[in-house]
Homo-oligomer: A and B are copies of this chain.
Amino acid sequence: MAARKPQGDETGYSNLGGSNATGSRAAEPVQTLAETVAERVREKVISGTLTPGSHLSEMVLCEELQVSRNTLREVFRILTKEGLLRYEANRGVFVSTPSMSTIIDIYRVRRFIECSALAQAHPRHPGTQRMRLAVDDAHRCREAGNWLGVGSADISFHSAIVELADSPRLSSFYAHISLELRLVFGLLQDPEFLHGPFIDQNGEILLELEAGRSGAAAEKLEAYLLRAERFILGAYARVAPSA
């Protein structure tokens, strides 16, 4: 019974674990059931369907996702390592709730990594094209009023910045950070208010880089990130004044 799922959608999420060392055979698109389900739960978490802090009962989710308890625990393991879920011994898993210090740390890491990557970047690096794509995409989404799309484009712009450093491990780490940031965004309402003011600044940064002034670009990026941090912290304080 319970035949294997037809293995529908692929993740599009690069295999985080790093160290794809041998490289002998191409990374196969074969996905295990646990990974597929993890993808679904991840969506639920960052979309806000599963609210931060709430308890995830094993039995309930088994029923809901139509998988066995063992498989579900593998899913929990995956998402816990990604920082989206949190274990408490003998009490189960909870959706992790970003705190102020989480946000502060995320932006500290972002300034640390993105600014250095940008400062030492070569203007003709392929990552630049990906930055250009992201900026254009963001503008298109803004025209269409698709603010979730704007958010995705923003994240992909900054991921492209990190890729300027040409380090798979750094990029994979930054993917983690982005994921946590998405959790924060999910906690905050009003994506237009969140992402709207920052689209044009991305464009300016890119212009500086394309003109070969990577130093100036890095400075603008740092200012951008400091402003964004204050912005997010303010919005957070309004939503969860206690924490």
Contact = CB atoms under 8 A, between A and B. Distances in A.
A70 interface: yes
Number of copies: 2
Contacts of A18: 83, 176, 180
Contact of A74 (B19, B77, B88): B77
A81 B16 contact: yes
A195 interface: no
Interface residues of A, number: 50
A8 interface: no
Nearest to A28: B89
Interface in A101-136: 101-102, 105-106, 108-109, 112-113, 116-117
A73 interface: yes
Interface string A14-34: 001111111100001010100
Contact of A167 (B74, B112, B169, B176): B112
A99 interface: yes
A96 B16 contact: no
A47 interface: no
A81 B76 CA distance: 13
A180 B21 CA distance: 11
A212 to B, nearest CB: 22
Pick the most buried of A23, A32, A116, A167: most chain B CB atoms within 10 A of its CB: A167
Given A21-B98, A99-B23, A180-B18, A32 B89 contact: yes
Given A19-B86, A108-B167, A112-B113, 18 more contacts: A16-B81, A18-B180, A19-B84, A21-B98, A21-B99, A22-B97, A23-B101, A70-B70, A74-B74, A77-B81, A81-B81, A105-B169, A106-B169, A109-B167, A109-B169, A112-B116, A112-B167, A169-B177
30 contacts: A18-B176, A18-B180, A19-B84, A19-B96, A19-B102, A19-B180, A20-B86, A21-B98, A21-B102, A22-B86, A22-B97, A30-B90, A32-B89, A70-B70, A74-B74, A77-B77, A77-B78, A77-B81, A105-B168, A106-B169, A108-B165, A108-B166, A109-B169, A109-B170, A112-B113, A112-B117, A112-B165, A112-B167, A116-B116, A173-B173
